[in-house]
Amino acid sequence: MKYAVVTGTSKGFGASIAERLLKAGVNVVGIARNQNQQLNQVADESRVSYQHFTCNLTDVDRLDRIFEKINDQVFKKDTELVYLINNAATVNPIDIATKHTIEAVQAHMQLNLIAPIITTALVLKRAKHCGIKTIITNISSGAADRSTYGWSAYGASKAGLNRYTNTVALEQKELGTKHKVILFNPSIMDTNMQGDIRSASPESFQAVDQFKQYKEDNQLSDTSDVAEVLVDILMDEEKIINGKYYQIKDYR
């Protein structure tokens, strides 16, 4: 049996990743503040299980207790492989750095950077204890690789996630484990996050008109198409290269 823990399954890319995994025969545990009833139906049709954990991932102090329960659900006697996909994130606050509040920056970093760091560690720790192989995917963004006016928090959290992922991958290689940790950059997709980006003011986000144009020109990918590529990569697990930065643009 294969299990996947996916964060941010209520909508957007995370919902599509969970759906594709269920259809591929993987049991899924989803985490978000809101439920996604459709995934229960997909699980029934695919004869696998879908379990939802309601959790605000900015409450990082609760993650060890929640992942104690989640790890019990996925690291079982007959488990051959556990995937963790750290997908949940926010682009907010969108504004120049001097306008950021402490609360907004704190919530951003907790969700985008600290939560994936903690979940990666908790899953790898349990994987080591159980001797079950695990493959962790951290969802990145092009924003990590270049500076965008108004996205200092988002660029910083995604760049931090990239470095963290590369470092943990290196450690696992040096330790000679079978676990793999990778990055996946989905590029621009038609989700609520893009709605947040388009609703920013030009004073907060200089490139807002360009992003409105992407939407008008139908340049935003369908999350289901991008999730299909990611899940195809994950299903061919022997071929996955530990530490690799996978990008959707290389599969088009």
Ligand X SMILES: NC(=O)c1ccc[n+]([C@@H]2O[C@H](COP(=O)([O-])OP(=O)(O)OC[C@H]3O[C@@H](n4cnc5c(N)ncnc54)[C@H](OP(=O)(O)O)[C@@H]3O)[C@@H](O)[C@H]2O)c1
- 155 vs 169, which CB is nearer to ligand X? 155
Contact in structure between 7 and 115 (CB atoms under 8 Å):
yes
For the CB of residue 170, give the shortest distance to ligand X in the complex, in Å: 22
Residue 34 backbone phi and psi in degrees, to 5: -120, 150
Could you say whether residue 152 binds ligand X (CB under 6 A)? Answer: no
For the CB of residue 8, give the shortest distance to ligand X in the complex, in Å: 3
Could you say whether residue 56 binds ligand X (CB under 6 A)? Answer: yes
Could you say whether residue 136 binds ligand X (CB under 6 A)? Answer: no
Could you say whether residue 92 binds ligand X (CB under 6 A)? Answer: no
Strand (E) or helix (H) holding 4:
strand 2-7
Q: Residue 177, class by beta-carbon neighbours within 10 Å (0-12 exposed, 13-18 middle, 19+ buried)?
A: middle
Could you say whether residue 87 binds ligand X (CB under 6 A)? Answer: yes
Could you say whether residue 119 binds ligand X (CB under 6 A)? Answer: no
Q: What's the 3-state SS for 130-175? A: HCCEEEEEEECCHHHCCCCCCEHHHHHHHHHHHHHHHHHHHHHHHH
Could you say whether residue 231 binds ligand X (CB under 6 A)? Answer: no
Could you say whether residue 123 binds ligand X (CB under 6 A)? Answer: no
Could you say whether residue 34 binds ligand X (CB under 6 A)? Answer: yes
Among 84, 89, 114, 208, binds ligand X (CB under 6 A): 89
Stretch that binds ligand X, among 54-62, 76-84, 117-125, 241-249 (CB under 6 A): 54-62
DSSP class per residue in 57-93: TT-GGGHHHHHHHHHHHHS-TT--EEEEEE-------
Residue (of 111, 81, 85) closest to 30 by Cα position: 85
For the CB of residue 80, give the shortest distance to ligand X in the complex, in Å: 27
Residue (of 54, 32, 29, 56) closest to 40 by Cα position: 29
Could you say whether residue 11 binds ligand X (CB under 6 A)? Answer: yes
Could you say whether residue 141 binds ligand X (CB under 6 A)? Answer: yes
Strand (E) or helix (H) holding 229:
helix 223-235
Could you say whether residue 161 binds ligand X (CB under 6 A)? Answer: no
- 27 vs 137, which CB is nearer to ligand X? 137
Could you say whether residue 12 binds ligand X (CB under 6 A)? Answer: yes
SS3 state at 128: helix
Dist. CA 21–CA 5, nearest whole Å:
10
Contact in structure between 249 and 176 (CB atoms under 8 Å):
no
Stretch that binds ligand X, among 43-51, 77-85, 165-173, 180-188 (CB under 6 A): 180-188
The residue ranges that bind ligand X (CB under 6 A) are 8-14, 32-34, 55-58, 87-90, 111, 139, 141, 186-189, 191-194
